[in-house]
Amino acid sequence: MKQGESSLTSLISAFGRSYHSQFDTPKIFNDYIAKELISQEEFNNIKENMVQGIDFFSHDIAKKFKGDTEEILKWITQVQLSPTPLARARYCEKVLLNEAMLELEQYVILGAGLDTFCFRHPELENTLEIFEVDFSTTQEFKKKRLDEAGFKVPSNLHFVSMDFTKAFSDQQLRKEGFDTKKTFFSLLGVSYYLTKEQISNLINNLFAKVPSGSSIVFDYADEKLFEEKGIFNRVENMVKIAAASGEPMKSCFSYDEIVGMLEKSGLLINEHLAPDTINELYFNDRKDYLSAFETIHYMHAIKK
């Protein structure tokens, strides 16, 4: 990760959540705080870059909406950028809030970026310790944005600087107050960029010292990732964009492979959402371009 790249990735993700919160109806996931962490200049720059890149995504759409920048932006954001981040965040927080009612004490967000969960749920400040794990550059960027937006960091939010994709360290978590208590982990938008061995090792390390009942929500790509094109070729485009950015997608799994990997770490699958189910749950009867992304699945697994 080069200097500044982590902040750019976080900004683009926040842009998608901000756009959805402001302009899409009905809401899949309403991150109404995301817009506070992006300057108007940054929002406009991301918008301009996306609109200028429409020919990469679809020559037909570029021709159809030529000159209509707002419709082009809506199309790119709703077709390519937002579907997976919005739906997986909605699913993850549903599971998390349910766990919070079942004596959950710690939440670890792996690859937190500009996550806003703790600011949208101040009622949990005295009951749930939240640990955001990410690159130090991303975290410094976030702290600066929070300060500029007038947000005070709550007492239950802890920043843990770590490249967990290379070497997970519970010692760094413990320095910030992490303990061997019932823990919920989220690992969203990460698994595609790691090898199967790296993912397996990471999950092993995450659950090595936490008690039974601890759990994780993560998303993963199925075995069709590198052959499925998707509507408007969006799956193929996703893979191409990742490769061109220097962070190629490395892994995809069959369901049986996921089951085997989790079993090795002492985890049982509590819930699995395939693309068709995700579409039915979160995108049904929409009148816009939003729909569940092909090949992407969500999983909730619990330690035995």
So where are the chain's domains? 5-81, 83-303
pLDDT at position 6 is 56
Q: Tens of pLDDT along 222-233?
A: 999 999 999 999
Percent of the chain whose pLDDT exceeds 90: 93
pLDDT at position 245 is 86
CA distances for 155 relative to 138, 151, 216, angstroms: 20, 12, 24
Which amino acid would we find at residue 108?
A: V
Residue 187 pLDDT exceeds 50: yes
Q: Average of pLDDT values for 109-126?
A: 97
pLDDT at position 3 is 47
Distance CA 141, CA 144 (A): 5
Q: Strand, coil or helix: what is 226?
A: coil
The lowest-confidence range among 82-86, 224-228, 241-245 is 241-245
Domain 83-303 fold:
Rossmann fold (3.40.50)
The lowest-confidence range among 98-102, 113-117, 167-171, 260-264 is 167-171
Nearest alpha carbon to residue 303 among 279, 260, 268: 268
Q: How many CA atoms lie within 13 A of 20 on its CB side?
A: 30
pLDDT band at 236 (very low <50, low <70, confident <90, very high): very high
pLDDT band at 1 (very low <50, low <70, confident <90, very high): very low
Q: How far is CA 226 from the centre of its chain?
A: 20
Q: What global pTM score does this model have? A: 0.95
pLDDT at position 162 is 94
Strand spans (E) along the chain: 106-110, 129-134, 157-161, 183-187, 215-221, 267-273, 296-303
Task: Kindly state the helix (H) or strand (E) to which residue 32 belongs, with its residue range.
Answer: none
Token pair recorded at residue 11: 């900004």
Q: Average of pLDDT values for 281-286?
A: 96
Residue that has been written with the tokens 């570029």 in this structure: 62
Residue 5 pLDDT exceeds 80: no
User: CB atoms < 10 A from the CB of 298, how many?
Assistant: 24
pLDDT band at 166 (very low <50, low <70, confident <90, very high): confident
Q: Average of pLDDT values for 18-25?
A: 97
User: CB atoms < 10 A from the CB of 69, how many?
Assistant: 15
- Between the two ends of the chain, the Cα-to-Cα distance in Å is 35
Q: How many CA atoms lie within 13 A of 64 on its CB side?
A: 9
Q: Average of pLDDT values for 6-18?
A: 86
